[in-house]
Structure 1
């Protein structure tokens, strides 16, 4: 079902709030650790969700070239975020895990341990595998220039810079969507119409929402 302007406004506000909080935490997070891993996963989920929202906001591009240009600036990054969300962060793909065992054979030893450090390394190695599988049919990387090894400082800094760009680009895009939606959405109800909304709220029933 196509999103109406209120739905677009709400979805973009959710994304903006999350991305601004992620950016705040990411700015103070210079160390490769478990907290960083959670930030990365959340950033990729929100960026991917914002990319999913984009087709429904294209009608807002008319007379708003800055909105279209902002998405275009980071379109490749959003595609990457959706890819990693779909094979790792949102769902763990069996083919990804098979490739991870091939890329990092030490995973076989790590899976036999139960401490926090090994759990973190398992996350890192599977994330690396996801990054390295984002290639074309000729095995050319679509975002980075070559394989990524997050334990290697230049690769770590490259990925961190990329992630910050995705998050801050998403913030800029979300702000423009919010502003456009606020221009087009109807004024909040007043008087009897406002009261009727609360009466209807009292009659609300809930059911499981289908995907």
Structure 2
């Protein structure tokens, strides 16, 4: 009997994707602008930042999770991974992390942030700071010739054609990501063995021995838990 009996890694894949799915289902609605007032714009820009983080987490999951799917699933996975590289760039430069070079480009791109007439308008300045950083992240994803890789033009989110172009791309990417997650979760559920009520005591012992020291090999934790239950178990097979 090996540690694979408990399918810890596979179940972890499932949990991670369920969280990302829930986030994307929420943000899919939030990125759509309902009106052009300042509160709606601020809400949309914050939701956009959250989407970048969730989609970046999805890219990490795609790179980590090994799924045996058909040729169509493999093709969709490859295309999605490629599209998510763009989002990860934005996330790494201006969402999950804030890069100093991006901040400097944002200041140059949006000089009106430091206009004397609006220096005390905190709501306006906060929104413009967010917008400047996001746009700089988008516009810095360039080819060797300096052209934006995805849109082939610099993006200004307050310019309606640019906003339509960017948010149309983002909405489609979210939709494709949600579809991919649903399909992957179905595959994972088909692989996971759900424990019965008769196994509750065994799994309770495993849970009780959870070590939150991330440097500890969890195979050793499983061994100690099973030993306590006096169940037949080979530690050598668990590592």
Q: Which of 71, 74, 79 matches 1:68?
A: 74
Alignment partner of 2:152: what SS?
Answer: coil
| Alignment partner of 1:132 is 2:155 | no
Q: How many pairs are equivalent?
A: 205
Residue 53 of structure 2 is matched in structure 1 by: 45
Equivalent of 2:26 in 12, 15, 21 = 21
Q: By how many angstroms is 1:7 displaced?
A: 1.7
1:180 aligns with 187
Residue 207 of structure 1: how far off its partner (Å): 4.2
Return the offset for 1:15: 1.3
Deviations 1:163-196 (A, max 9, x none): 10121111011111101111122x2122442222
1:121 paired residue number = 128
Indicate which of 83, 97, 115 corresponds to 2:89. Answer: 83
Q: 1:156 to 1:63 in 2, by over 3 A?
A: closer
Corresponding residue of 1:151: 158
TM-score (norm 1): 0.86
- Higher Cα Rg, which structure: 2
- Per-residue deviation, residues 13-44 of structure 1 (Å, max 9, x unmatched): 11111111211333564646111011101111
Gap regions ≥5 residues in structure 2: 1-7, 217-239
TM norm structure 2: 0.77
Q: CA deviation at 1:63?
A: 4.2
RMSD after superposition: 2.5
Identify the structure with bigger relative contact order (alpha carbons < 8 Å, sequence gap 6+). 1
Which ranges of structure 1 fall in alignment gaps of 5 or more residues? none
Residue range with higher mean Cα deviation, 111-120 or 174-183: 111-120
CA shift for structure 1 position 197: 1.6
